[in-house]
Amino acid sequence: MTQAGAPTKRDVMLALLEQSSVYVHLDPRRAGVVVPPQFKRQPQLVLQVGLNLAVAIRDLDVGEEAVGCTLSFNRSPFYCVMPWTSIFGLVGADDQRGRIWPDDVPAEIAAQVQTAARRDSQPKERTRLRAVKSSDEEGDDEAETESAAPPRASERPSLTIAPPPPPEPAKAVPTLVEPAAAEPAPVPAAVPAPAAAPVPAPLPAPAVTEHDEGDEPTPPDAEPSPPGRGKRPIPSYLRVVK
């Protein structure tokens, strides 16, 4: 269902064809769709349509009711008919601009999009790391624990108090003789600095004539060239589709 004032699917198709080729997203199971039989049972089919493709489409018809053209499947031509009621997305191949019509999206495709959105919105659990001791380190810890335990009373060694050692005789301290202070070296006389060379006066800057490039006068006999034709500006209703 098209809202009042919104561009139709045909308008979007024509606008995208002026910029590049178009990826047509359609439900091949809808009534009136004509595509190769092997694609009729899947919920989504994407076909590329354009005016300047490697394999030229010479009979492209963007009509009021459907899009019709001959496409190549495994180098075999097949005339396809894609009614607008079966098309739910049109996306430009160059800049990914286009439109999606949610009311026409197949239920299977909408469910996949919602599942992917819920999966992306769930926070990811962080993996917690903890140190794990090896068997050798556990054995060392037990050995340290056992060695740190206090000995029993029966196992404690007896203490024997020894008499203090006799005092040592005093030794003579040698006298230090300070050396004579060295005389300071004579300071050489200051050498006069050389006279500074005269600095030449700067040269005057050359005069520059200001001018604007491209404003040269046109000869009276020359005629203005007609403006070149380029691509039409991208309509504002086309946006990037991801």
Span 15-37, average pLDDT: 96
Span 209-230, average pLDDT: 44
Looking from the CA of 119 toward its CB, the CA atoms found within 13 Å total: 6
State yes or no: pLDDT of 210 exceeds 50: no
State yes or no: pLDDT of 91 exceeds 70: yes
Q: 98: which strand partners?
A: 91, 239
* Residue percentage of the chain with pLDDT more than 90: 38
Top-confidence residue, 38 or 179 = 38
Q: 73: which strand partners?
A: 76
Query: Which among 52-56, 104-108, 159-163, 208-212 has the top mean pLDDT?
Result: 104-108
Span 54-80, average pLDDT: 94
Which amino acid type is present at position 9? K
Span 203-216, average pLDDT: 40
Mean pLDDT for all residues in the chain: 73
Q: Are 94 and 234 in contact (CB under 8 A)?
A: no
- Of 59-63, 101-105, 162-166, 211-215, minimum mean pLDDT range: 211-215
Top-confidence residue, 152 or 49 = 49
Q: Are 87 and 25 in contact (CB under 8 A)?
A: yes
> CA–CA separation, 116 vs 236, rounded Å?
29
121-140 pLDDT tens trace:
777 666 565 666 655 555 55
Span 149-159, average pLDDT: 53
Q: Which band of pLDDT confidence, cut at 50, 70 and 90, is reported for residue 76?
A: very high
| Model pLDDT, residue 2 | 59
| Model pLDDT, residue 65 | 97
**CA-CA-CA-CA torsion for 126, 127, 128, 133, nearest 10 degrees?**
-170
**Burial class of residue 83 in the structure, from the number of CB atoms within 10 Å of its CB (0-12 exposed, 13-18 middle, 19+ buried):** middle
Q: 48: which strand partners?
A: 23
* Strand stretches in 30-146, DSSP E: 45-49, 61-62, 66-73, 76-83, 87-92, 97-100
> CA–CA separation, 226 vs 169, rounded Å?
121
| Model pLDDT, residue 236 | 67
* Strand stretches in 37-151, DSSP E: 45-49, 61-62, 66-73, 76-83, 87-92, 97-100
State yes or no: pLDDT of 216 exceeds 50: no
Q: Are 71 and 59 in contact (CB under 8 A)?
A: no
Q: Is 173 helix (H, G, I), strand (E, B) or coil?
A: coil
> CA–CA separation, 18 vs 15, rounded Å?
6
Which amino acid type is present at position 104? D
> CA–CA separation, 138 vs 136, rounded Å?
5
